[in-house]
Structures are given as C-alpha cells and as structure tokens.
Structure 1
Amino acid sequence: MPHSTITGIGHYVPKNVVTNQDLTAVMETSDEWIRERTGIEERRYIDRTKETTTTLAVEASLRAIEDAGIEKEDIDFIIFATLSPDYYFPGAGVLLQRELGIAKTEIAALDIRAQCSGFLYGLTTADQFIRAGTYKKILLVGAEVHSVGLDFSTRGRNVSVIFGDGAGAVIVEATDEPENSVLATRMHSDGTYAEKLSYMYPGSHGGYFIEKYGIEGFDVDFAVNDQPYGGVFWNQDMLDKGRIYPHMEGQAVFKMAVRKFPEVITETLEAAGLGVKDIDLLVPHQANLRINQFVAHTMGLRDDQVYNNIMRYGNTTAASIPIALSEARDEGRVKKGDLVTLAAFGAGFTWAAAVLRWGK
C-alpha cells in the first residue's frame, strides 16, 4: 500500500495590509483591545474587484506546483477547502481547475466545507485516496476571502477584527518511503453547537432550526409575500438587523477549542505510535493566539515547538495551516525528517489533526 507525502508547498496573501489602527477609523476599537484578545496586529485584504478566493488559490497552487517540480497537467485530483467560495455554486474547485488552464484534463475537483478544519479534512481525504491507489498527485488548497463579507462597524467588531484573506496549497503525492509520510490523521465534529460560530443568512433554512432548538439572537421575520413560492432565502429584515454577517460566541468557541485541541493532537500522535515528546513542530490553526498559547502550555510544548503567524495575517480559516506550514518551511523551521503535527478547530464544531514526518 502506498503512503502519501507533501512534495510541494506554497502560499499567497494579498498585498493590502490592514493594521489594527486602520480599523479604528471604521469602528470603536483599538490596537491594544485587538492584541489583548487575539494577538493579531494586522491582516491582508484583497483588491475587491480584482481578486477572489479562487485567484488567491491559483497563486498558491502555482507556487506549490513549482516547489514539487511537476507540471500542472500532472495533477490528477483537486481538493479545495474553503468557507468563502466565489459562488454559492458551483464550487471553487472547478473554478481553480479552469484558472490553472487544466480544465481539458477533466480531472475531478472536490470542495470541502469544514471551515477552519477544512485543510486537515482535505489532507485526510488526499491521504486516503493515495493509499487506495486512486490518485498519485493531488493538489490540496485552502483559500479564503473574508474581507468582503464582514460587518465593519462597532456592532461587528468582535468578529471582523479577527479575519483576513489568503491561500495556501500543497501537492500530496504517493511515496514508497513510509517513514517520511503522513503517519496518522483524525477528524471529529459535534453539530450540537452549530450556531455558536455560523454564517446563517441568507440561507434555505427559513428559520426552522432557530425555532426547533430555541436559538436566541437570530430573530428575523420570515413572513412570505403573496407569491406561492420562495421568499425565505433572504429579505429586507435580514439586512436591517445585520443578520447577513458572521456570528460568533467567542467564549463558547474558546472553551471548546482549548479542550479539543489537546485531545485530538494526543489521539493522532497515539495512532502513529508517538507522543508529545516526539513533536518537532506543532502548526495549529491560526484562530486566536491566546488559544494556541494555552494549548502549547497545557501540552508542555516550548515556544520554539509551535509556529504562529496570526499576528501578521489574522484568522484565514481553511488557509491558515497551509500558509503557516509554508512559512515555517521557508524559514527553516521544518526540515526533512522532522515530526510535524497539524491541528485545527472551527465552526461546526469540527476539529482534526494530522501527524507527518516531513519528507522533502
């Protein structure tokens, strides 16, 4: 049975740097307030009419393809993880295929909607396809554009100051060196808390789950007009009440994340026959620097064993792990033979981890 390994990696972030101080011009906040709660100092935003989730993915993908020393036509499967696709449908995977100029290859493109855990869900999927012998060279991308859909007012500051735009990509290939490969992955979810971190409007739910579970804080008038069909996907009341923006209950997310991060990391290490003492570098999802610091302390990891870059980019959800992993490699923090652990927690709630021996 073949194993899988990352043979190429690359990332891309937009050129527009938005500092905490910049945000004080549009909402009541401060650099100190944002840093204290999140550790974020700045983030990147796209040029709104010239860049998209897919165009960021193209740039990251081309860098990963070059790094792997392959041609884009060699790719036999695309996995695209994002919560911010260009269109409601079709998915971003086929758009990436088209923009790379390989649509004529007619390879499959799979979109993954596991939010912050999307890249690791994608890595697990790629690993299993390669182990099964179905594909040999998989392009796995995590890309996000949050800046066009945030509430840039004091009302939305708790969420809007956190997120940024960016993309990361890897080439996952078959290898006959099991010692330098993806050693283990684990994925979990718990839909009990689905609305704690959510982007619910517009949507097809028509308020069904809100009523069923008695969820507070999402009141919208779903009264339909005199037409026989439609009328609940979106309406003026959603706009007036600001329901079209992301919602996050920060304390609930924090409490769950600091519990599930260590659990899934330990579980995945044990599946690989390893322990925390074997970790050379932990690359966690960049949701909140305080979460990552708490987890590192809980697990007894030194600062030099954990890679964080949220200070520069904010939370780029599905893109955050590949961006961080790419930067860590570029900085010499990841070398051949290193045991690298990746972990993520996000909306759903979903969480996942992967343990790999760096083979490049």
Structure 2
Amino acid sequence: MLRSKIGGIGSYVPDKVVTNDDLTRVMDTSDEWIQERTGIKERRYGTKHEETTTTMGARAAEIAIERAGISKEDIDFIIFATLSPDYYFPGCGVLLQRELGITNTEIGALDIRNQCSGFVYGLSVADQFVKTGMYKNVLLVGAEMHSMGLDFSTEGRGVTVIFGDGAGAVVLQPTEEEGQGVLQTCLHSDGTYAEKLAFINPGSHGGYHKKYTGEEVDYGYSDAEFGEIFLNQHMLDNDQIYPNMEGQFVFKMAVQKFPQVIMEALEKAGLKKEDINMLVPHQANLRISQFVQKRLGLKDEQVWNNIQKYGNTTAASVPIALCEAWESGAVRDGDLVCLAAFGSGFTWGAALIRW
C-alpha cells in the first residue's frame, strides 16, 4: 500500500531574540505576567525590510529539500500555509517558488489559510496527492512573520506577547514500507465563533460582520451605493487593524478539541494513546499543552514544547517543533508521532505518522 512519508524536514527562526523584558519597554507588562499566562519567555522577530514570510519559508524549505536527498527541481507541488502572507495576493506559494528559483510551469502552488491548523491541513492535502500517485515530492511549508502586524501597546499586549516569527518545512514522498509514513489525518471546523479569534480589518465585509456577532462597531464606512472603503483613516485612528482574540473563550475551546481529535485519529488508526511516542502540539499556549498532556496521561518526554523559546508561530509552530524534536533525537525511526493543532476559524486537526 502506497503511503506518504516525511522524506526531509527543516526549520528556520530569525536571529533576533525578543525577551519578555524587551516588551516591557513598549507596553505595560512583565516577564512574570507573560510566563504565568502563556509559558513564553522569548520569541524571534524577523529583520525588517530583509526577511518576509516567504524568505523564511524558503530557508526552511532548502534544508528540508537537502535532507530529502533531492534537488529543488524535483519538487512537483508546493503547499504554503500562513496567516501572514507577504501580500494580500498573490499568495506565498508562488513567491516561494520564485525565491527557490524553480519558476517553471510544471509545478503547482497552493496556499492554505487555516492559521494555526494550517500545517496539519496541508499535511493531509499533501498526503492525498502522494498516496494517489499524483505527485512524488510535495513541499509543504508553514511560515509566519507576525511581528509586522502586531499592536505594540498596552491595549494590544494580550495578543502581541504571544506571537513570534519562524518557518518549518517538510518534503512528502511516497513509501511502500509496511507501517511507515502518514497513517491517519482528521480535520474539523466550526465557523460559529469565527470572530472570537480574527483579523477583521482590512476586509471586504464592509462592516457587515456584525450580522453574525451582533456587535455595533463603527468602521467609518460611507453609505454610498458604490465604493465601500476597504481600509480607511477611521480604522487606523481607532486601532481597528490588529488581530482580535478572546483568550479565555479560545482556551476553553482548545482544551476540548485537542484531546478529542487526537483520540479520534488514534481510534481510526486502530491505536491507543499508550502507543504515542511523541506528541507535537501546535505551540499556542504552554498551559494548553500541559492540559492535553495530562488528559492523555503522557510523560514530559512524550510531549515536545518549545513555545518558551519561540512563542506561537501559528502555521510554523508544528513543523518547527517537529524538526527540533527530530534533530534532538527525541523522534526516532519506528516512533508513532502525533501532530495536533487548533486555531482561528475555528479549525482543528490531528495527524498520526509512523516515523
């Protein structure tokens, strides 16, 4: 039976380290406050005007391609997951293709906008392409440059202190080895509470998202029949162009969905939680990971957390953590690795991989 396996993996984080104490210079916060709520001690920020989501993704991709034992020209499909693209459009998939120098018309590029669960969703898509024989070397990248779009004020601290920049990448290839590769993926979504974790402006909604939330928010739109404003001075003056998150609500949803989808994937694969050698959760909040670990009865050495060093890198967090775990020797051949993520949308998912 043909399956897909991770033939190569790589990650990249910028050199600039931003500690919690560094953030106290621009907002009313403290190292103790941030660590108590998130577990984060520091994060990385890309170099302004030099690094982008695409360039970081390319650095991670180059490592993954080399480790897969192939050349860039062997890549036949690109999947790029991010919530912080270089441009509103086109997406980062084609920009990555250009950055890698493989701009030929025989490669397809797909952009995934599933935020924190983007890499897990992308893995499921890549898995289908490979195991059906459609493609042989699928490059899957998760990358984020959050630092360019955060509110560095006391008002925005609840979101800003959480996020960092970075990228991770894998090359999915076919394998016929018994029991190896991607065993199961499970994907879910529920858009009921989409605005609880969202980047609403700029957008094409024209202020009508209140249809779903019931919130009367003045976005400064005109009442003209034509020419509703995509981005205006009113939004800028009233700080309406930053991410919004109702942290407690998101936390409660995450601690429900994480264990559920992991158990679902195990059940469908005919496995038990005791079979997991390494759980690599999306690095959203250390408290969430600890809660999931306790629910599953896993030991500390069975869960890989690095949010303390990098913060939440959204679509990049799972591949960065997975790469780090593999490089350290914590993930070995034959291990059952579980990837899981929950994020904006809401969307969530899990994947089981026999390494």
Q: TM-score, normalised by structure 1?
A: 0.97
Query: 2 CA distance for matches of 1:324 and 1:110?
Result: 23
Superposed CA deviations along residues 302-324 of structure 1, whole A, max 9, x for unmatched, are 11110000000000000000000
The one of 331, 336, 341 aligned to 2:338: 341
What secondary structure sits across from 1:95 in the alignment? helix
Any idea what the Cα deviations from partners look like across 1:176-222, whole Å, max 9, x if unmatched?
Answer: 11411100000000000100000010100011121343036x44222
1:171-250 maps to which residues of 2 (within 5 A)?
Answer: 171-215=171-215, 218-224=217-223, 229-250=226-247
In 2, Cα distance between equivalents of 1:255 and 1:81? 25
Aligned runs of 1:1-360 on 2, under 5 Å? 1-215=1-215, 218-224=217-223, 229-358=226-355
Alpha-carbon distance between aligned partners in 2 of 1:223 and 1:209, rounded to the nearest angstrom:
16
**Count of aligned pairs:** 355
Which digits, 9 at most, give the CA deviation of each residue in 1:154-186, with x for residues without a partner?
000000000000000000001111411100000
Question: What secondary structure sits across from 1:104 in the alignment?
Answer: coil
Offset at residue 235 of structure 1 (A): 1.1
Residues 73 and 105, structure 1, Cα contact 8 Å, conserved in 2: no
Alpha-carbon distance in structure 2 between the residues aligned to 1:313 and 1:110? 26
Distance 1:57 1:221, change over 3 A: same
**C-alpha distance in 2 between matches for 1:150 and 1:250:** 16
CA distance in 1, matches of 2:333, 2:297: 24
Moved >6 Å (runs of 4+): none
- The Cα of 1:236 is off from its aligned counterpart by 1.2
CA distance in structure 2 between the partners assigned to 1:242 and 1:83 by the alignment: 19
Distance 1:75 1:24 in 2: 44
Q: CA offsets per residue over residues 257-295 of structure 1, 9 Å max, x none?
A: 000000000000111110100000000000000000011
Per-residue Cα deviation, 1:6-35 (whole angstroms, up to 9, x for no partner): 010000000000000000000000000000
Structure 1, 172-181 or 191-200: larger mean CA deviation: 172-181
AA aligned opposite 2:4: S
Q: Which runs of 5+ in 2 are unaligned?
A: none
Partner Cα separation in structure 1 for residue 191 and residue 266 of structure 2: 25
| Partner-residue secondary structure (3-state), 1:208 | coil
CA separation of 1:215 and 1:246: change in aligned 2, threshold 3 A: same
- C-alpha contact (below 8 Å) 1:224/1:232 kept by paired residues: no
Question: In angstroms, what is the RMSD of aligned CA positions?
Answer: 1.1
- Secondary structure (helix, strand or coil) at the match of 1:103 reads coil
Q: Distance in 2 between matches of 1:253 and 1:321?
A: 19
Q: Is the 8 A contact 2:195 2:213 kept in 1?
A: no
Quickly say closer, same or farther: Cα 1:275–1:35, change in 2 above 3 A: same
**Which consecutive unaligned segments of at least 5 residues does structure 1 have?**
none
Percent identity (aligned): 67
The amino acid of 1:125's aligned partner reads V
**Matched position secondary structure for 1:269:** helix
Tell me the secondary structure at the aligned position of residue 167 of structure 2.
strand
